[in-house]
Chain A
Amino acid sequence: MKKTYAGVEVEVDAEGFMTHPEQWSREVGVAIAKEQGLGALTDAHWKVVDFVRGDTASQGQSPGPRRIVQGSGVSMKDLYALFPKGPGKLVARVAGVPKPKACL
């Protein structure tokens, strides 16, 4: 499936997660965040998103919240405050990476 964010056509799966992280840009991330009702992204949001993109690239799979907390320096409480409707999925959506398989 294809979707257009910030004028860029990207590939997404049936649940709307981007399947080609290389098609992502910050503008695309901002548009997805808006679609998900997140509003403006702060530096703290970007800290999380940047970690998730880097980690996904190096590990070959998207991190779950526990790994994000351990790697990004953002606390679990803050992660939930930044992505209230579920950081397990929402972070991956905004970061343009696949839905995490991690259970934690």
Chain B
Amino acid sequence: MSEEKTRKLAIICSKGSLDMAYPGLILANAARMAGHDAMLFFTFWGLDVVNAKKVDHLHLSPLGNPSVPVPAMVAGLPGVEALASRMMRSEMEKHHIPPVREMLEMLDDAGAELYACQMAVDLFGLTKDDLIPQVKSIISAMDFIDMSEGAQVVFV
């Protein structure tokens, strides 16, 4: 009961939409809350989540999203995506779920480690300066494999 084994969670965040940004962040935070180690690896579209210019403007796409109760014809209309994103943001605020940027700051304060994928950074023509300051470093896929040794890996 007193001595709990320390686990390590390594979460790969590969999606950049508002709805898909949260699962990885919440899980990493839960791991830290429970006293386990957590590292996050942001790759491909997931890089948007730690992109300083994009983090406050992530979108929820109703198009091709079977969980959004809007007909596809309507979902593709201009403005619908912005509306859906705005509705989700306000709903989350109502339920005291912090915005993505605040989640990332909280994770950093909680001791979770944030890393960006080298290949994705190169692919999108970014540098470390384009990323939020909580990102510890830019690492390769092989670095991630080395650093996540012994961890439970979650792909989002």
Contact = CB atoms under 8 A, between A and B. Distances in A.
Interface residues of A, number: 21
The majority secondary structure among interface residues of chain B is: loop
B111 interface: yes
Interface stretch (B28-36, B61-69, B76-84, B119-127): B28-36
B106 A35 contact: no
B113 to A, nearest CB: 13
Interface string B93-116: 000111000000010011100000
Contacts of A90: 35
A15 B4 CA distance: 11
B1 A66 contact: no
Nearest to B25: A104
B26 interface: yes
A86 B26 contact: no
Interface of B: 1-2, 4, 6, 26, 29-30, 32-36, 96-98, 106, 109-111
Interface of A: 15-16, 35-37, 64-66, 75-77, 80, 84-90, 103-104
